[in-house]
Structure 1
Amino acid sequence: MLYGARPARRRDAQRNRAAIVEAAVKAMTGRASVVPMPEIARRAGVGQATLYRHFPDRRALTAAVVHHHMERLEHHAALVAPPAFRDLLRQVLCTLVVMRPLVLLAQRLDESTRERYQQRVIAALSGPLRRAQEHGHARPGAVPADLALMFRMVLSVADAADAERAIDLLIDGLFPGGDEAEPP
């Protein structure tokens, strides 16, 4: 009987962890710059002790949220067709604007962790960029390091409306012919 009880607790712990990460994803990507840890626990439907058992501090929780987003990006990037790379890149850039509070928290992580995350993002987008270039959907001279430059440029714009305009300009510069939907 004891043997059978252990997996149930593990599943419960996994559910709690997933609920905490999901609540933190929503909290850290909202308008508020910092949502208190007790509020994240409340939103996840768990006690503070459970939250802190899984994530001893905000940095650990931030890393889990960033990891969650990295996995989603890697999954989507692996499936994107060359013509859709433009839309994927636009979505990534817009997500940086919407998730500015999370980005600010992630910038407080240690340098090696930040570098590892940046390398994962670039690696996830490098293949789709190369395929888009091979099919004539992206400028041939673009290199993966240009993606990191684009991210820094968008993050340097404080106003959301200006950031959206910056994204339009960056996207139009990377893809030949500008916006296909607009007449010349």
Structure 2
Amino acid sequence: MESPTEKRPARRKDAEENRARIVAAARAVYASAGFDAPFDAIARHAGVGRATLYRNFPDRYALGAAIVEDDLCELEALAHEHGDRPDAFMKLLSAIVERHTETHALVPALLRGPGEHALQALVPRVTRLLTVPLQRARAAGLVRDDLTLADVIDVLAMLSAVLADDGSGRARDRRMARALELLIHGLVPRAPVGSPIGPNSPRM
């Protein structure tokens, strides 16, 4: 017979798997039906009972915050993977935009309700995530030397505005990609006065 100590890791693993399924299901359901989608729909999509869902997440705001935090964990792993590479900042920026496009309605909904506190608790991690990569990108001349973290936050807010009144699917993705392309031109160093600008000019 297994001892209680031997059984605990299996229970923890099951709990982690349930949580991962719930978060993945919530992403899909919120993307198709919006943040007000019934909790029952998420439970069905995840293949878990209502009790399991509520045991992990007492309300939609806790679940929404978990999605945002999981995205942040992935971004932190990406930052670690790229180490001290000077192009890490641009890769992180692109990844942030990609995830935000997928969950564009989530953050505004959380900010309107009890999820605001959970989001604010993540702000220091976002700051740490971008600060050093931005410094390295500036030192390498990949971005303007006057670009600040506050500027980056403003850029992300502009991109959020692009999504706010847009449709869904491919049209939204194309519009977001175009907006990011235009904004990146404002992030890179300006060409010296008199430098040629045309098809043969250096590109990112």
Same fold per TM (> 0.5)? yes
User: What per-residue deviation string (whole Å, max 9, x for no partner) do you get for residues 37-93 of structure 1?
Assistant: 111111211111110111111111111111111111111123332124323312312
Higher relative contact order (CA 8 A, sep 6+): 1
2:86 and 2:136 in contact (8 A); partners too: yes
2:101 and 2:176 in contact (8 A); partners too: yes
TM-score, normalization: structure 2? 0.76
* Identity fraction in percent: 39
TM-score, normalization: structure 1? 0.83
1:20 and 1:41 in contact (8 A); partners too: yes
Gaps of at least 5 residues in structure 1 are none
1:86 to 71, 75, 90: 90
Corresponding position of 1:20 = 22
Gaps of at least 5 residues in structure 2 are 167-171, 192-198
1:8 to 2, 7, 10: 10
CA distance, structure 2, for counterparts of residue 31 and residue 167 of structure 1:
24
Count of residues in Structure 1 that have an aligned counterpart in Structure 2: 180
> Using a 3 Å threshold, how does the CA distance of structure 1 residues 164 and 113 change in structure 2: closer, same or farther?
same
Superposed counterparts of 1:132-171, under 5 Å: 132-157=137-162, 158-159=165-166, 160=172, 161-171=174-184
Shift of 1:143: 0.9
Superposed counterparts of 1:24-173, under 5 Å: 24-28=26-30, 30-34=31-35, 35-80=37-82, 81-108=85-112, 109-157=114-162, 158-159=165-166, 160=172, 161-173=174-186
> Using a 3 Å threshold, how does the CA distance of structure 1 residues 78 and 145 change in structure 2: closer, same or farther?
farther
CA distance, structure 1, for counterparts of residue 61 and residue 28 of structure 2:
16
Aligned-partner SS, 2:51: helix
> Which of the two has higher C-alpha Rg?
2
CA distance, structure 1, for counterparts of residue 99 and residue 17 of structure 2:
26
